């Protein structure tokens, strides 16, 4: 017997293993992994270099733009101041200090100018002694936020204006705010020595004149020659980044400087550093993952190898146990026909020994011996198929024939025990597709166990063994019911080698269960309330049922005794 047949070759399974092996080979190959790491390193290096070049270009463009914007902004403020100077000088030209209407007109004009330009704190005309002749704001006592007209820095600007006969800015006067005093010559020939004095709040000048988009894009501050921040005067020192653009503001020697730096550059720097760190971490992560993957695949391969080895071992054990089961099963099943053959042989011998040869009886005994030996052969064949798990030849077989042929095998024992066999076929006599030899063995085993159980009970009154078939929507159910002692341990019934009989082998029910399950069915047992046990098995109808070739008449219940 070739037990290798127990494990059928499966080509698709092998092809799956080959594919898996190929994939593993790809990942576990040293050169492939090295190649992947090299590719990754080169990729990271190239992308970092490109990123850096792009970033450097972006910074250079931003720096160029920043210089241009700062220049533009400084021009805007300077132009504005120059325009105001020209306007004031023109108004002063029209002014006749002796004429009230002229004075009123002048005051009206500078009032409007001050209202429109919050950075202008005061506009005044002073005489040679630096005394105020006319101006705004109007006051009895000079307000504290305005520098006195005889302040040294103010005087210095006025003297310079007189000396050069041109406009002159003072140094920054820090009085509540950074102030700037502008002294303008008066073009009016009659009042040549008068000066127009304008006081600016530098902080407000920047707030008013610097456009919003500039503030959004750049950090801006105005510092003196000692790099002390004059504006903005509130909100602390402006946090410029390293890339600062500087531009002198005001007349030469004023020491005022605009400082700007691009706001986004700071964030952009952080973003780039963040990205670089992320790329680095990502690279490290990938390398770590590759190493992990390689180790994991190695471990898996080793585990699979171990599993495969344990699986060969298991099959070997299974084959040995199958062999043992086969041998035991064979001995169990062949026991009955061989015993019958021996009985018939003994009977024939006895008949031959008598003087008067009763040839019909001898022939009958020899025929029976032939029948039993053929049955033994069939059992052996079916058992072999069953153990080898090869496709058992299933053929359509009539239910009633199956039942009655099984009963024929047990009839003699039943008669000896005075047990009446009752057959109750509640189904149509359909044909089922089955291994009839094995199904008959199942019925035979159940009936023999039933007779054994009733024999063990030893009662005086006549006992009955019932064989019933029923049909549900999906199943065909066979039941064998006895009036014996009942089942002791229902859970162990179908386990191989479980027996309560002194000479039992405990294989009959285990074989029955395997045969029924091989037919897609199920077997179970129960103790009856009125005593005795019932064994049932069901076979699925959908796959089993075959149309009866002859007229499918319901078979009436029959009784045998």
Does the protein bind ligand ADP through residue 179 (CB under 6 A)?
A: no
Exactly one of 155, 417, 499, 518 binds ligand ADP (CB under 6 A); that residue is 499
What does DSSP assign to residue 195? Answer: E
Does the protein bind ligand ADP through residue 330 (CB under 6 A)?
A: no
Stretch that binds ligand ADP, among 256-264, 350-358, 460-468, 504-512 (CB under 6 A): 504-512
Exactly one of 147, 185, 329, 508 binds ligand ADP (CB under 6 A); that residue is 508
User: How many Cβ atoms are within 10 Å of 215's Cβ, its own excluded?
Assistant: 14
Tabulate helix, strand, coil % of the chain (nearest 5): 55, 20, 25
Q: Give 5's contacts (C-beta < 8 A, 6+ positions apart).
A: 388, 389, 390
| Alpha carbon of residue 393 to chain centroid | 49
Exactly one of 505, 541, 546, 558 binds ligand ADP (CB under 6 A); that residue is 505
Residue placing its CB nearer to ligand ADP in the complex, 150 or 335: 335
Residues 126-155 that bind ligand ADP (CB under 6 A): none
Stretch that binds ligand ADP, among 16-24, 287-295, 305-313, 497-505 (CB under 6 A): 497-505
Minimum distance of ligand ADP from residue 531's CB (angstroms): 11
Strand partners of residue 134: 125
Give the distance between the most distant pair of CA atoms in the chain: 185
Minimum distance of ligand ADP from residue 443's CB (angstroms): 13
For ligand ADP (CB under 6 A), the number of binding residues is 23
If 0-12 CB within 10 Å is exposed, 13-18 middle and 19+ buried, where does residue 521 land? Answer: buried
Minimum distance of ligand ADP from residue 410's CB (angstroms): 13
The closest alpha carbon to 519, from 439, 441, 449, belongs to 439
The Cβ-side half-sphere exposure at 97, using a 13 Å CA radius, reads: 15
Rounded-to-integer distance, Cα 164 and Cα 169, Å: 12
Residue placing its CB nearer to ligand ADP in the complex, 78 or 335: 335
Minimum distance of ligand ADP from residue 12's CB (angstroms): 39
Residue placing its CB nearer to ligand ADP in the complex, 392 or 449: 449
Minimum distance of ligand ADP from residue 6's CB (angstroms): 23
Name the strand (E) or helix (H) holding 464. strand 463-471
Minimum distance of ligand ADP from residue 546's CB (angstroms): 30
Does the protein bind ligand ADP through residue 501 (CB under 6 A)?
A: yes
- Overall residue count recorded for the chain in this entry: 561
Exactly one of 251, 283, 506, 540 binds ligand ADP (CB under 6 A); that residue is 506
Q: Give 103's contacts (C-beta < 8 A, 6+ positions apart).
A: 95, 96, 97, 134
Residue placing its CB nearer to ligand ADP in the complex, 208 or 464: 464
Say what the alpha-carbon torsion angle 499, 501, 504, 508 is, to the nearest 10 degrees: -50
Residues 513-542 that bind ligand ADP (CB under 6 A): 533
Residue placing its CB nearer to ligand ADP in the complex, 147 or 508: 508
Place of tokens 């897609």: 520
Distances 405 to 37, 433, 436 between C-alpha atoms, Å: 76, 16, 10
Q: Give 421's contacts (C-beta < 8 A, 6+ positions apart).
A: 407, 410, 411, 414, 447, 464, 465, 466, 467, 560, 561
Residue placing its CB nearer to ligand ADP in the complex, 77 or 409: 409
Residue placing its CB nearer to ligand ADP in the complex, 119 or 510: 510
Minimum distance of ligand ADP from residue 331's CB (angstroms): 11
Place of tokens 């008959």: 440
Residues 389-448 that bind ligand ADP (CB under 6 A): 445
Minimum distance of ligand ADP from residue 506's CB (angstroms): 4
What does DSSP assign to residue 555? Answer: P
Distances 285 to 27, 45, 243, 561 between C-alpha atoms, Å: 17, 16, 35, 85
Q: Give 267's contacts (C-beta < 8 A, 6+ positions apart).
A: none
Stretch that binds ligand ADP, among 109-117, 153-161, 264-272, 494-502 (CB under 6 A): 494-502
User: x/- binding map, residues 449-488, to ligand ADP, per CB under 6 A?
Assistant: xx--x----------------------------x-xxxxx
The closest alpha carbon to 546, from 391, 393, 398, belongs to 398
Q: Where are the alpha helices (DSSP H) in 95-119?
A: 100-116
User: x/- binding map, residues 226-265, to ligand ADP, per CB under 6 A?
Assistant: ----------------------------------------
Exactly one of 97, 137, 283, 504 binds ligand ADP (CB under 6 A); that residue is 504
**Residues forming the site for ligand ADP (CB under 6 A):** 445, 449-450, 453, 482, 484-488, 493, 498-501, 504-510, 533
């Amino acid at each position: 017997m070739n037990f290798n047949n127990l494990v059928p070759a499966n080509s698709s399974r092998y092809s799956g293993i080959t594919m898996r092996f190929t994939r593993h080979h790809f990942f576990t190959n040293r050169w492939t992994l090295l190649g992947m790491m090299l590719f990754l390193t080169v990729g990271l290096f190239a992308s970092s270099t490109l990123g850096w070049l792009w970033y450097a270009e972006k910074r250079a463009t931003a720096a160029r733009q920043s210089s241009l914007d700062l220049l533009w902004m400084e021009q805007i403020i300077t132009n504005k101041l120059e325009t105001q100077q020209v306007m004031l000088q023109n108004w002063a030209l029209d002014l006749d200090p002796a004429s009230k209407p002229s004075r009123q007109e002048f005051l009206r004009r500078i009032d409007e100018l001050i209202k429109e330009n919050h950075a202008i704190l005061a506009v005044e005309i002073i005489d040679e002694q630096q005394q105020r002749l006319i101006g705004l704001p109007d006051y009895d006592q000079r307000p504290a936020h305005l520098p006195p007209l005889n302040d040294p820095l103010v005087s210095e600007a006025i003297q310079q204006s007189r000396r050069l006969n041109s406009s002159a800015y003072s140094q920054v006067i820090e009085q509540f705010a950074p102030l700037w005093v502008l002294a303008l010559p008066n073009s009016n020939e009659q009042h040549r020595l008068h000066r127009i004095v304008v006081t600016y709040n530098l902080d407000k000048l920047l707030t008013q004149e610097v456009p919003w988009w500039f503030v959004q894009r750049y950090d801006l501050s105005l510092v003196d020659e000692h790099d002390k921040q004059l504006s903005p005067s509130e909100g602390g020192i402006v946090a410029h980044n390293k890339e600062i653009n500087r531009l002198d503001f005001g007349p030469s020697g004023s020491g005022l400087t605009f400082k700007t730096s691009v706001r986004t550059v700071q964030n952009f720097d952080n973003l780039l550093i963040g990205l670089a760190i992320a790329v680095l971490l990502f690279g490290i992560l990938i390398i770590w993952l590759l190493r992990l993957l390689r180790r994991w695949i190695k471990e898996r391969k080793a585990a699979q190898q171990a599993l495969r080895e344990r699986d060969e071992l298991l099959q070997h054990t299974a084959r040995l146990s199958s062999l043992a089961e086969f041998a035991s099963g064979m001995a169990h099943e062949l026991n009955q026909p061989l015993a019958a053959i021996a009985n018939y042989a003994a009977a024939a011998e006895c008949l031959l020994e008598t003087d008067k040869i009763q040839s019909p009886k001898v022939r009958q005994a020899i025929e029976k011996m032939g029948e039993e030996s053929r049955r033994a052969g069939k059992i052996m064949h079916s058992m072999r198929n069953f153990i080898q798990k090869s496709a058992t030849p299933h053929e359509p077989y009539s239910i009633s024939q199956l039942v009655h042929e099984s009963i024929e095998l047990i009839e003699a024992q039943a008669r000896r025990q005075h047990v009446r066999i009752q057959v109750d076929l509640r189904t149509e006599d359909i044909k089922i597709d089955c291994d009839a030899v094995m199904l008959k063995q199942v019925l035979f085993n159940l009936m023999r166990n039933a007779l054994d159980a009733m024999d063990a009970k030893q009662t005086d009154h006549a006992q009955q063994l019932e064989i019933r078939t029923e049909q549900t929507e999906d199943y065909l159910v066979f039941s064998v019911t006895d009036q014996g002692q009942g089942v002791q341990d229902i859970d162990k019934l179908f386990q191989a080698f479980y027996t309560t009989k002194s000479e039992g082998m405990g294989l009959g029910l285990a074989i029955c269960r395997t045969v029924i399950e091989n037919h897609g069915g199920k077997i179970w047992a129960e103790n009856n309330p009125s005593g005795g046990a019932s064994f049932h098995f069901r076979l699925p109808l959908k796959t089993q049922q075959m149309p009866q070739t002859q007229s499918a008449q319901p078979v009436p219940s029959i009784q045998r005794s």
